[in-house]
Amino acid sequence: MAISILNKENTGLIIVDAQEKLMGVMGKKERVTDRMLKLLDLARVFQLPVIVTEQNPKHLGPTLQAIRETLPGYDPVTKVDFNCCEVQAFNDCLEKMSLQNIILTGVETHICILQTCVSLLKRGYGVHVPHHAVDSRTEANWQIGLSLMREAGATITSTETIIFQILKKAGTPEFKALLKIIK
């Protein structure tokens, strides 16, 4: 499968279940949160659409405060399904966005991220998973999730690779706005 280069015109960001209680048990919470915030900065600068999901928020709490504060509007899709694509509200949001490519982040890599990724690929989306913007409770499950998504056809990438693909060139106002997060 050929790797596609992302562009601002048809790319969106999905943040899956980056909730207080879930993130508290992840192995790399700080790293993952940092990468998600960088991707939210990218989304803000280029006005990329963003979907945020929350798995059973009554028990797992809301999305991390740092992420909620960065969002232009906090309106998460709540779910109990592991696969976001099994949730009608998620599908409704996705259909309104006319996307070809999706940047998929959140937790857990081997559960919700994997199942959502495979469904999105089957629907014809290009799915880009920045490896340090997803996490699982264990390193082994994180690795398995990444491996299975790559085998399914997802592009396993990095946050910085995504940022530079969308930026396209240096010297622009967008480049200057994102320079602080690139360094």
Which CATH number characterizes residue 80's domain? Answer: 3.40.50.850
What pLDDT tens digit does each residue of the chain (183 aa) get? 567 789 999 999 999 999 999 999 999 999 999 999 999 999 999 999 999 999 999 999 999 999 999 998 889 999 999 999 999 999 999 999 989 999 999 999 999 999 999 999 999 999 999 999 999 999 999 999 999 999 999 999 999 999 999 999 999 999 999 988 887
CA pair distance 136, 143, nearest whole angstrom: 9
Total of domains in the chain: 1
Q: Which of 28, 38, 84, 112 is catalytic?
A: 112
Query: Does some domain include residue 141?
Result: yes
Of 17, 28, 84, 135, catalytic: 17
Q: Is residue 26 part of a domain?
A: yes
On whether residue 1 sits in a domain, the answer given is no
Q: Are 174 and 145 in contact (CB under 8 A)?
A: no
pLDDT at residue 73 in the model: 84
CA distance 157 to 161: 7
Structural domain boundaries, residue 146: 11-182
41 noted as active-site residue: no
Active site residue 58: no
What's the whole-model pTM score?
Answer: 0.95
**pLDDT number for residue 182:** 80
